[in-house]
Amino acid sequence: MKKVLIAPDSFKESLAAGEVAAAIAAGIKRVDEGVEIVSVPMSDGGEGLVQALVAATKGCLRKAVVTGSLGKPVEAFWGISGDGRTAIIEMAAASGLPLVPPAERNPWRTTTYGTGELIKNALDAGCQKLIVGIGGSATNEGGAGMAQALGVRLLTADGKEIGYGAEGLKSLARVDAEGLDPRVKDVQVVVAVDVDNPLCGPRGASFVYGPQKGAPGEMLGALDRMLAHYAQILKRDLGADIADIPGAGAAGGLGAGLAAFLAAELRSGVDVVLEAAGIEEIIRGGVELVITGEGEINEQTSFGKVPVGVARLAKKYGLPVWAFVGSIGKGAESVLKHGIDAYFSIAPRPLTLQESLQGAEIFLADLSEQCFRLLKSLNLRPKA
């Protein structure tokens, strides 16, 4: 075995994707110091997107104080690719659920204004392309705050600016985009999403994701109606028919807002990362085995998650693919039809969730070591 590609997602609440890759690499090196290892931390557009693409492109991180989900200042981050042309933004860094204490989570009031400010930072830096990951939001206002931060006026019937959150959409009567930052017309905007939900309806942003953002059951119908009202006005005033675009409902409708105001292209998050990180070129460079992974592998993994995205690309070149995971959930066997040849749990014995989270780094390295000892003992030579 001469060359291995390690391309995992993060193990949420335990290890960042880069830490997962490092642990797997450490286990391999215990067995064979001569193996060339290429580690590329991955993301599906949510947590870890910035770090993954900054590392892959040898870029850098930037910090900015922006308006948080609750309207208060927060320190956020974003990234610039190594060539200085592409900005990488996670909306969750400014408008994410983890930034809001559980007792204060209320999508009726939370805003994406800070995400718009991150986009403005990227424009100020002269970036020509924006990759925006929109997982993990605390919001449900269709990107209204984002648009306001970029100069769009969202007006009431008497010409006043609406307030933050879905509550503000209740009084929205007119959209005036004349003040939209003119620089957005000169940049390409790609949105990395890992869901295909429309903006409204039973599968829309409010009913599917509202509860996890703190919305009680009786609020969901009102949230959905506000987004439907918003979509109608965007169509009337901007000619933007975005309600049924797959992914429009991502991040509380931020997908719809980015499409409407920034002419953004919504794409599978893992495909965006694979392309930006140059994974196919790496694979063509003599890789013999691909190792990926995530916190739990289950039936949802086949629908736009990192392990299957990596595996499908690897299979174009006939490469074997292993997945190292924290746990194995219901329907995990479905991934075997999508390019993953075998998956392995890191748990060496029955463990509590806390034990598994705390020991993940050690368990990953040990699993990697044992798999490579088996490979070496069998003298396997996967096809290049």
Q: How confident is the prediction along the chain (384 residues), in pLDDT tens digits per residue?
A: 799 999 999 998 789 999 999 999 999 999 999 999 999 999 988 888 999 999 889 999 999 999 999 999 999 999 999 999 999 999 999 999 999 999 999 999 999 999 999 999 999 999 999 999 998 899 999 999 999 999 999 999 999 999 999 999 999 999 999 999 999 999 999 999 988 999 999 999 999 999 999 999 999 999 999 999 999 999 999 999 999 999 999 999 999 999 999 999 999 999 999 998 999 999 999 999 999 999 999 998 988 899 999 999 999 999 999 999 999 999 999 999 999 999 999 999 988 888 888 999 999 999 999 999 999 888 755 554
Q: How far is CA 34 from CA 2, 3, 30, 321, in A?
A: 7, 9, 10, 20
pLDDT at residue 368, as a whole number: 97
Residues 313, 280: Cα–Cα separation, whole Å: 7
3-state secondary structure of 107: coil
pLDDT at residue 252, as a whole number: 96
pLDDT at residue 316, as a whole number: 96
Shortest CA distance to 336 belongs to which of 373, 289, 297?
Answer: 297
pLDDT at residue 126, as a whole number: 97
Shortest CA distance to 98 belongs to which of 152, 53, 135, 149?
Answer: 135
How many CA atoms are closer than 13 Å to the CA of 281, on its beta-carbon side? 6
Q: Which tokens is 99 given?
A: 């930034």
Instruction: Return the amino acid letter for 75.
Output: E
Is residue 146 within 8 A of residue 257, CB to CB? The reply is: yes
Domains defined for the chain, CATH in brackets: 3-42+278-378 (3.40.50.10350), 49-270 (3.90.1510.10)
pLDDT at residue 178, as a whole number: 97
For 172-222, the pLDDT digits (tens) are 999 999 999 999 999 999 999 988 999 999 999 999 999 999 999 999 999
How much is the CA Rg of the chain, to the nearest whole Å? 22
3-state secondary structure of 126: coil
pLDDT at residue 379, as a whole number: 73
Taking residue 342's Cβ as centre, other Cβ atoms within 10 Å add up to 12
Residues 246, 259: Cα–Cα separation, whole Å: 11
Residues 310, 237: Cα–Cα separation, whole Å: 41
Per the confidence metrics, is the pTM higher than 0.75? Answer: yes
Shortest CA distance to 295 belongs to which of 384, 357, 219?
Answer: 357
